Structure 1
Amino acid sequence: MRIALYQPEIAGNVGAVLRLGACMGVAVDLIEPMGFAWDDRRVRRTAMDYIDHVEVARHADWVSFRVANEGARLVLFSSKATQSPYDHAFEPDDILLFGKESAGVPEHVVAACDTRLRIPMRPQVRSLNLATSASLALGEALRQTKQIPPL
């Protein structure tokens, strides 16, 4: 299983997702361009020394990401989706894809995904933080596929 971030804009969110990947043993794909310089100290500060314990793959663009992950099942998390991750059957090699914080993903990315899921939340609010969404999604996916790290 992998987490992929499409053109992330906030260094702190990327750092938190890298830390999540390190703790849960899940690789992270970063699809560029990003909204900050990769050497931004905020990424390392948020990820801390966990960044040394996660496999990170950087891709120059969407096409490069698709070539590198040919045949993988893409599970897009979107505030526009109607299916809950709690009603979805995850597979061990799924890539959990999250869009940029301000705009999600463009239509051609949506079309390339195998399924779209929305984390249930109260109707009065729009969305969760990117790292929080990734944590909830990954937790459910790992639980279903029995890939949870040992205590």
Structure 2
Amino acid sequence: MHVVLVEPEIHVNTGNVARTCVCTGTRLHLVHPLGFSIDARAVRRAGLDYWHQLDLHEWRDFPTLRQAYPSGRFIFVETVGQCRYDEITYRPDDFLVFGRETRGLPPELLAGECVVRIPMATDVRSLNLSNCVALVLYEALRQCGFPGLR
């Protein structure tokens, strides 16, 4: 499984996502520009002592990532998703794509793609990014039988 953060802005969220990725054996892809330094102490602290175990890949932009995995299935998580995140069937090699904390994913990335949403009240903007990643990732892993996890 792959988690993709497109232009994340908040180091603590990225650190929390990194820790979740380590605990689940998930590869983390960070798409630049980042809103912080990857060497920031707070990122490492949020990832605790797991940071060195993280399967981390950095990309200069999203098209470069996409070109590196031409047969990859990319599932975009955004509030405008056509269906709920639990209504699709996940595969072990899926890419779960999440956007910036303040603006989400650019509309041009979503055109013609599989876009899912997390249900929430209509009068709020969004959940915290690291919570969204954990929700969707664990549903995907559950459907796949939690491969490699005890």
Normalising by the residue count of structure 2, what TM-score does the alignment of the two structures yield?
Answer: 0.94
Letter of the 1:10 partner, please give it.
I
RMSD, matched Cα: 1.3
The SS at the match of 2:5 is strand
Counterpart in the other structure of 1:78: 78
Share of identical aligned residues, percent? 35
The alignment covers a number of residue pairs equal to: 150
- Work out whether 1:128 is the aligned partner of 2:127: yes
Q: 2:15·2:44 contact (CA, 8 Å) conserved in 1?
A: yes
Aligned amino acid, residue 49 of structure 1: D
What SS is found at the alignment partner of 1:96? Answer: strand
Deviations along 1:75-112, one digit per CA (max 9) or x if unpaired, are 00001113101111111111000001111111221126
Any residues of structure 2 matched to 1:56-75 within 5 Å, and which?
Answer: 56-75=56-75
Matches of 1:43 and 1:133, distance apart in 2? 18
Structure 2 gap segments, 5+ residues each:
none
Poorly superposed stretches of 4+, deviation over 3 Å? 148-151
In 2, the alpha carbon distance for the partners of 1:62 and 1:22 equals 22
Q: 1:45 to 1:112 in 2, by over 3 A?
A: farther
Q: Which amino acid is 1:130 matched to?
A: L
* Alignment partner of 1:108 is 2:108: yes
Task: Map 1:1-151; keep pairs closer than 5 Å.
Answer: 1-111=1-111, 113=113, 115-151=114-150
1:112/1:46 CA distance change after superposition, 3 Å = farther
SS at match of 1:29: strand
Q: Point out where structure 1 has 5 or more consecutive residues left out of the alignment.
A: none
- After TM superposition, give the deviation of residue 150 of structure 1 in Å: 3.4
